[in-house]
Structure 1
Amino acid sequence: MTTRAVVIGLGHYLPERVVPNSEFEATLDTSDEWIRSRSGIERRHFAADGETTSDLATQAAKNALADAGLEPNDLDAIVLATSTADLTFPSAATMVQASLGMTRGFAFDVQAVCAGFIYAIANANALIVSGQAKRIMVIGAETFSRIMDWTDRSTCVLFGDGAGAVILEAQDGAGDKTDRGILSVDLNSDGQHRDILYVDGGVSTQTTGFLRMQGKEVFRHAVEKLAKTATTAMEKAGIDNDEVTWIVPHQANIRIIQGTAKKLNLSMDHVVVTVQDHGNTSAASIPLALSVGVERGQIKRGDVVVTEAIGGGLAWGAVVLRW
């Protein structure tokens, strides 16, 4: 028998404030048509004043627990992916642990920007497969609205806030691709490209900073690297293209999503797309899309799901799982 990390619950949370593209027209040289045509984004959610990343994460976690029919102390761990934690320390994950009333286990953050959820779920999978934990909540949560330069139309219109959570549980499998749960993981990074997507501030420089991005360069790397990591993960799992039910990509830009699907020889009918409603929510993007995909009735038990993301670092990766 083989131990697999199987999804048994999921949930998401979006702040109440919805920001349509038209809201940017008053302060920027932009338009709804310009934003839609270049990104596919129509609207996004922004956190309220005083609403933090751990607040969003806690709400998503509560929804995931309810979906799984579990209590907080049924969990062994929380792994939270974010680049916008409330404080330098302690981790946002421990704040969620406290907010949930979870009094056992352990919690920690993972920081890999938009690839954060892939890295977090890879860590959780390793903890489960090695026997260190039986049930782990994996959360992606961000408040990117806090690091936007509102004078830069090339970036500030692209991002949004939100959170998504999945609960993984150790279950026995046969050890082949028919198992439910995570079948393979592929992780990569290349620090030589850090200057094309970064925040120009941080603790050691005693500044907060804003997100900076070279959009054309990010696009060039994204399509190639996302297609390659997804293919590698599928090969590791022994999964062929015609066995893939859904691609659930990082929701950064519709052109990247379409370009990656084309390179994978998969039609957009096999892709879960939420970018139009959420914008780029960084590490929250994939768990949000998974939760919405299930809510819509797209993702069903037994489906083969390939999920992939790329973010600052550059860091990128993919996970193949059977729902």
Structure 2
Amino acid sequence: MPFVEIVSTGRFLPPSVTTNADLESIVDTSNEWITTRTGIKERRLAGNEISAAQMGAKAGVDALDKSDLNASDIDLIIVSTATPDRLLPSMACDVQALIGAVNAVAFDVGGACSGFLYGLTVAEGHIATGHATNVLVIAAEKMSSILDWNDRSTCVLFGDGAGACIVQRSAGSRGIIGTYHGSDGNLAELLHRPPGGLVKMSGQEVYRNAVRSMALASERALEDAGMKAEEIDLLIPHQANVRIIESTARYSGIPMDKVFVNVDRYGNMSSATIPVAMDEAIEQGVLEEGMNVLTVAFGAGFAWGALAIKW
């Protein structure tokens, strides 16, 4: 039986849309170059009007609005971010203040693109041990603030946004039923942000490691759940680029008609991609109660993971 289940989801996306054509005036690139290599056609950029914490708070409020809880009912806030507005305090504390969750403990997790899945596992542990009842897990990323806008190999890939979910003890068979996480700090220099600097990435090496690690994580999470790939109704992968998504699905034995993809509209929002995709999939009627869901991510660290969920 699962310990915890996701009872509601939420998202926030900045209203400003930046297309590939828009980027042609900023950096040496083209719509054709970006689309054929990544599948990305546009992304949202927050600009100076809104902070990462504010985006996270809006996503959290959206998840609360879709539940039967008030902010005061939340007793733990976990925020995943690679782009905090400031180093102290944690962004989770800023989110706590913004939404009025006066009874919550709040802290951040730093798992890069895998951070939302790490946050769910931390929430599961707190609930399983009785240390929390209503956990708000948020991923909020303002990737535009840490990009080199002269580097076409990175700046065209990313977008800004936030997603959230509320996690509670499972009341039955619904919830997280399989988990796998991994990391390899020996490869950190392939995707990193130096102190005070901007994102640096070795694209081909990241691609190869991402596909291999996401396929392995998917396999291990399914093993932990006692399931096979053909039992999965929906795969929600980290939305880095469409080639990684397609390769991960192929190696995992899951057809693309069972894969949720929105990278074409948002780009890579780091850890926010999965909760945003979950919320959109519910809204579109693609993700329904009773489905077997597999979600998998890979990011800087390297750090990766997968969860099997009975929705």
Aligned-residue offset at 1:242: 1.6
- SS of the counterpart of 2:132? coil
Aligned-residue offset at 1:50: 4.0
User: Counterparts of 1:162-241 in structure 2 under 5 Å?
Assistant: 162-173=161-172, 179-201=173-195, 208-241=196-229
The CA distance in 1 between the partners of 2:116 and 2:250, in whole Å, is 23
Aligned-residue offset at 1:149: 0.4
Aligned-residue offset at 1:24: 1.1
- SS of the counterpart of 1:219? helix
Superposed structure 1 runs of 4+ greater than 4 Å apart: none
- SS of the counterpart of 2:3? strand
User: Counterparts of 1:257-268 in structure 2 under 5 Å?
Assistant: 257-268=245-256
For structure 2, the residue ranges without an aligned partner over 5 or more in a row are none
Amino acid at match of 2:183: S
- Indicate the percent of aligned positions where both proteins have the same amino acid: 41
The CA distance in 2 between the partners of 1:168 and 1:12, in whole Å, is 15
Contact 1:3/1:129 (<8 A) preserved: no
The CA distance in 1 between the partners of 2:220 and 2:291, in whole Å, is 19
Aligned-residue offset at 1:105: 2.4
The equivalent residue for 2:285 is 297
Contact 2:158/2:267 (<8 A) preserved: yes
Does residue 95 of structure 1 match 2:94? Answer: yes
- SS of the counterpart of 2:66? helix
Q: TM-score, normalised on structure 1?
A: 0.94
Amino acid at match of 1:36: T
Aligned-residue offset at 1:129: 1.4
Q: Which moved more, 1:23-32 or 1:312-321?
A: 23-32
Amino acid at match of 1:282: S
Q: TM-score, normalised on structure 2?
A: 0.98
Does residue 277 of structure 1 match 2:231? Answer: no
The equivalent residue for 1:28 is 27
Amino acid at match of 1:68: S
- Show CA shifts across 1:233-285 (max 9, x none): 01001111121011100000100000000001111011010100110000101
The equivalent residue for 2:63 is 64
CA RMSD of aligned residues (A): 1.0
Q: Which moved more, 1:22-31 or 1:312-321?
A: 22-31
Contact 1:302/1:322 (<8 A) preserved: yes
Q: Which moved more, 1:66-75 or 1:280-289?
A: 66-75
The equivalent residue for 1:311 is 299
Contact 1:11/1:63 (<8 A) preserved: yes
Contact 1:46/1:161 (<8 A) preserved: yes
Amino acid at match of 1:145: S
- Show CA shifts across 1:200-259 (max 9, x none): 22xxxxxx2100000000000011110001110010011111210111000001000000
For structure 1, the residue ranges without an aligned partner over 5 or more in a row are 174-178, 202-207
- SS of the counterpart of 2:169? strand
The CA distance in 2 between the partners of 1:105 and 1:48, in whole Å, is 29
